[in-house]
């Protein structure tokens, strides 16, 4: 995918790439360069935050920074130029976004020059050449013009309409409707002609809601019934805002995506949560022994490591729990691999990166993968790919001193295990009440995929392993 353009003077425009999977925008968090700085191929010039993660963007060529198009904190659409770099070493022509002027067709004195078109740099983005023609003044000869090439499918036709509005003219009737590529694809899939859709977005842009409204059946006309006039409803209360004692934080980036995902999960998958309280004293002793083992030196060894291993063994014994629901095809998709998600709280919000093929890893390999996953998340460097394809998840609420909770499924997954705080409690052990290390586990699962029996077996197996960790050997 191309993310840059170059003009004749050697000025290159680096455009916001799609750093995730189909994301449409990203926020510029930090610029690492300023105008006049020299940059080299592969040098990181800025950090951006998408709806999934913070990502550093490298520049793909050598040159001198000419202009930063947007300040820090700005949310920019994918395909928009964010930085201009002079790669020619000489004087730089005006910025590439300023359209070159061509000799106007003889018109009225108020007519302005027509901007020259630019070639789109991403499918669905950039400005397409207008295919409209001006009506010549009566009695004036207008030289023949070559037919202009048809713009690529999905091009975003915004510039011609906006320019016409700025010039005091209405948009040409022959212009294509304004819509972003995903909306055009939706209209195509639904068989909707965008020319017949009434836009509701800014600057006359057609939105997804407009397309859906175009295919919705008309509401039936209600039968008119003469009834006494009802009293006017009371006005809605006005929302007040105390600026001195309240702070409003925009919901965007990772936090916005998390909110949308959790609402979608909670109201799509029927959740069931089961609990069990267990004695993990033997597991805590094994953790201490592993920390002294030469094979585990330099690795992250903690209770979460053995809990993760216990869950992997329980999934191996009950493989049907490792699945997903395909709503479109009405199928259950059984996964023959485990991508183990670990919920991590970061300054930007909750993220759930996962360990790919965790089922194939030895205990030292699992410890190394857990350590890398946690450190990367804390640094805010988790990539979008690391958060895709999870099958089951562990969330450790015990680190906050919480006994347990009812976790919400990560979208697309079948189960999530919450681990509570491990602490000394009175416990009946071998017929006597003794202080033992005790914790509570909670397993939430999608009841479309996992019935009560299967969910109970998985939770019981995890509990049994943590009470008697030697089962890691006998059951593995």
Q: Which residues are catalytic?
A: 447
Closest CA to 197 of 180, 216, 211, 176: 211
Task: Give phi and psi for 150, each to the nearest 5.
Answer: -70, 135
Residue reference for tokens 């006359």: 204
Answer yes or no: are the C-beta atoms of 376 and 353 closer than 8 Å. Answer: yes
The structure tokens listed for 474 are: 């006998």
Answer yes or no: are the C-beta atoms of 15 and 3 closer than 8 Å. Answer: yes
* Residues whose CB is less than 8 angstroms from the CB of residue 387 and which lie 6 or more positions away in sequence, other chains included: 52, 53, 351, 352, 353, 354
Answer yes or no: are the C-beta atoms of 74 and 28 closer than 8 Å. Answer: yes
CB-based burial label for 222 (10 Å; 0-12, 13-18, 19+):
exposed
Q: How far apart are CA 43 and CA 20, in angstroms?
A: 20
DSSP-assigned letter for residue 469: T
**Residue 145 to residues 46, 106, 148, 346: CA-CA distances in angstroms?**
44, 13, 8, 59
**Residue 82 to residues 13, 16, 69, 85, 302: CA-CA distances in angstroms?**
7, 6, 5, 10, 44
C-beta pairs of 131-137 under 8 Å, 24+ apart in sequence: 131/174, 131/175, 132/160, 132/172, 132/174, 132/175, 134/105, 134/107, 136/105, 136/106, 136/107, 137/106, 137/107, 137/108
Q: How far apart are CA 134 and CA 42, in angstroms?
A: 46
Q: In what order do the strands lie in the sheet with 54-58?
A: 54-58, 44-49, 25-31, 75-77
Largest Cα span, the chain: 111
Residues in the chain: 476
């Amino acid at each position: 995918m191309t993310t840059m353009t170059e003009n004749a003077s050697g000025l290159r425009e680096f455009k916001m790439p799609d750093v995730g999977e189909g994301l449409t925008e990203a926020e510029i968090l930090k610029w690492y360069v300023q105008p006049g700085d020299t940059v080299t191929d592969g040098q990181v010039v800025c950090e951006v935050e998408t709806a999934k993660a913070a990502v550093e963007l490298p520049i793909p060529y050598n040159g001198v920074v000419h202009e930063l198009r947007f300040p820090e904190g700005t949310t920019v659409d994918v395909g928009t130029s964010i930085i201009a770099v002079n790669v020619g070493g000489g004087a730089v022509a005006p910025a590439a976004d300023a359209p070159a002027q061509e000799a106007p067709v003889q018109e009225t004195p108020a007519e302005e020059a027509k901007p020259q078109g630019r070639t789109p740099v991403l499918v669905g983005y950039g400005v397409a050449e207008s295919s409209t023609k001006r009506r010549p003044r009566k009695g004036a000869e207008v030289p023949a013009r070559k037919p202009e090439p048809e713009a690529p499918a999905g091009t975003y036709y915004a510039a011609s309409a906006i320019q016409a509005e700025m010039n005091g003219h209405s948009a040409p009737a022959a212009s294509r409707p304004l819509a972003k590529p995903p909306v055009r694809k939706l209209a195509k899939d639904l068989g909707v002609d965008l020319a017949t859709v009434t836009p509701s977005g800014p600057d006359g842009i057609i939105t997804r809601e407009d397309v859906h409204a175009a295919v919705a059946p008309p509401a039936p006309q209600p039968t008119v019934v003469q009834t006494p006039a009802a009293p006017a409803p009371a006005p809605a209360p006005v929302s007040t805002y105390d600026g001195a004692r309240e702070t409003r934080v925009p919901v965007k980036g990772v936090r916005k995506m998390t909110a949308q995902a959790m609402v979608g999960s909670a109201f799509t998958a029927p959740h069931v949560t089961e609990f069990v309280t267990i004695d993990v004293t033997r597991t805590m002793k094994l953790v201490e022994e592993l920390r002294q083992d030469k094979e585990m030196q330099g690795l992250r060894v903690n209770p979460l490591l053995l809990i993760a291993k216990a869950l992997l063994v329980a999934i191996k014994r009950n493989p049907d729990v490792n699945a997903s629901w395909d709503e479109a095809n009405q199928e259950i998709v059984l996964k023959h691999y485990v991508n183990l998600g670990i919920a991590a709280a970061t300054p930007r919000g909750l993220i759930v990166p996962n360990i790919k093929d965790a089922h194939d890893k030895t205990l030292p390999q699992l410890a190394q993968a857990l350590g890398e996953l946690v450190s990367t998340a804390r640094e805010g460097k988790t990539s979008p790919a690391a958060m895709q394809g999870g099958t089951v998840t562990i969330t450790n609420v015990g680190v906050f001193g919480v006994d347990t909770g009812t976790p919400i499924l990560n979208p697309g997954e079948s189960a999530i295990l919450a681990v509570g705080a491990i602490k000394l409690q009175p416990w009946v052990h071998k017929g006597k009440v003794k202080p033992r290390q005790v914790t509570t586990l909670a397993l939430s699962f999608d009841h479309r995929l996992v019935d009560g029996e299967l969910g109970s077996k998985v939770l019981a197996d995890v509990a049994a392993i943590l009470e008697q960790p030697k089962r890691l050997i006998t059951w593995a």
